[in-house]
Structure 1
Amino acid sequence: MINVSFVIPAYNEADRIGSTLKSLKHFSSNAEIIVVNDGSTDQTKRIAEKYANKVITLPINHGKGFALQIGWREAKGTYIACLDADLEESANEVTSLLSPLEKQQADVAISIVKAGKHAGLGFVKKRVQALIYQQTGVKLEAPLSGQRAFHRKWLSVLLARAYQGFGVEAQMTIDLLKAGAKCVEIPTTMTHREMGRNMKGFVHRLKQWVDIERQCRGTLL
């Protein structure tokens, strides 16, 4: 029986995904690694096939939400951990997220990571915190964290609607809380690529904000 399924969406992550997947290979034989190659045009697929138990390749880029749901449908584990492809060696800290689930202290565990010096100004984060609080009455510190784990019994909730792009973390959190799931946030030192306070970072956060508004509020932008 598979205990943990690691679901990793990846788009053009050839430079980092190898290190990320290698850091997960030390888990016991009752774990599986599922990579959803979301229309990558680099060597992501080839590298992922060296380490993952299953690589699902989408012919075009559909976005993070779609890719995660594809991976969830394939997951066989009692617990499902969603991880970004660019965590590299810090991915092994996922054990901190699995621990409260295995001890039945929570249904969902979300990683809290201290913002680095190249992080954004926090507008999108504050917006999502407000949306989640408005709809559930719960205040979260890291609502946009892509590093999270949950018990598979919540899959029916997470597969009941289509998730869009970067709106997935915000909406899945709202859906789980409304369904009665107990969420805990766990401090970790997981690290991944920060977009920075430059034009590339600004464009990324603008797209993230648009996806979140469309997903959580149905805003037509």
Structure 2
Amino acid sequence: MIKQSFIIPAYNEESYLEKTLLAIQRFTERAEIIVIDDGSQDNTKLIAERYADKLITFPENMGKGFALQAGWKEARGDIIICLDADLGESAEEIGALIEALEREEADLVISVMKPGKRAGFGLVKRRVQAMIYRKTGVKLASPLSGQRVFRRKWLPVLLEKDYKRFGVEAQMTLDLLRAGATCQEMVTRMTHREMGKNIRGFLHRLKQWLEIERQLREAQ
């Protein structure tokens, strides 16, 4: 019987994916690993084939929201675990979130990462924090975190939506809270690739901002 489903969307993550998948091996005795290769042009697919129980491949990049929903549709576990592909060895910290969910402390458990030295200014995050608080009264430290676990019973809420690229975490958090789910955040030592305070980083965050705004506007 499958107890847990790891859902890992990946786009050109050959530098990190293997370490991420190796880090979660100790949790996979009664679990399945589902990797969504979202139109990668590197060796992401080849790496995923070595470790994933199921590999979903898109010929072109469809976006994180689309990839996650594809993984959710295939998940068989009672506990759904969403992970970014670039966590590397720090992915093993997901164990704390799984344990909290199993203790039924909340319906949704989200990882709070400590900001790295190359982190941005947090404008997008603060925008989403304010929006979620205004609509639900819930204050969250990391509403954009891709590291989160929830029970299968909440999948119908998420699968009836049309999530876009980087807007998925913000909107799924809002949708679950509105549906009555309780949320807990946990500080972890997870780390992932940071874009930095440079032109590339600013462009990445601008794209993220625009996609989140589009997602929230369409969900009104």
On whether the aligned pair clears a TM of 0.5, the verdict is: yes
Per the TM alignment, residue 189 of structure 1 is displaced from its structure 2 partner at its CA by 0.5
Structure 2: state its 5+ residue gaps: none
Runs of 5+ consecutive residues of structure 1 not aligned to the other structure: none
TM-score by length of 1: 0.97
Letter in 2 for 1:88: G
SS at match of 2:27: coil
Shift of 1:121: 0.4
1:91 correspondence with 2:91: yes
Deviation at 1:29, TM superposition (A): 2.2
Instruction: Please give the root-mean-square deviation of Cα atoms over the aligned residues, in Å.
Output: 1.0
Deviations 1:166-214 (A, max 9, x none): 0000000000000000100001000100000001100110010001100
Instruction: Report whether the alignment pairs 1:71 with 2:59.
Output: no
2:209 equivalent to 1:189: no
Cross-structure match for 1:157: 157
98-107 vs 32-41, greater mean Cα deviation: 98-107
- Cα distance in 1 for partners of 2:201, 2:74 equals 32
- Give the deviation of 1:217 after TM superposition: 2.0
Q: Counterparts in 2 of 1:43-192, with a 5 A limit? A: 43-192=43-192
In the TM superposition, structure 1's runs of 4+ consecutive aligned residues that sit over 4 Å from their partners are none
Q: Distance in 2 between matches of 1:61 and 1:192?
A: 21
1:54-91 alpha-carbon deviations (Å, 9 max, x no partner): 11101110000000000000011110110000101111
Is the CA contact 2:27–2:95 (under 8 Å) kept in the aligned structure 1?
no
Percent identity among equivalent residues?
Answer: 62
Q: CA contact under 8 A between 2:37 and 2:45: conserved in structure 1?
A: yes
Question: The residue matched to 1:35 in structure 2 has which SS?
Answer: strand
Q: Between Structure 1 and Structure 2, how many residues are aligned?
A: 219
The 8 Å contact of residues 110 and 186 in structure 1, kept in 2 or not, is answered as yes
Deviates more, 1:189-198 or 1:18-27: 18-27
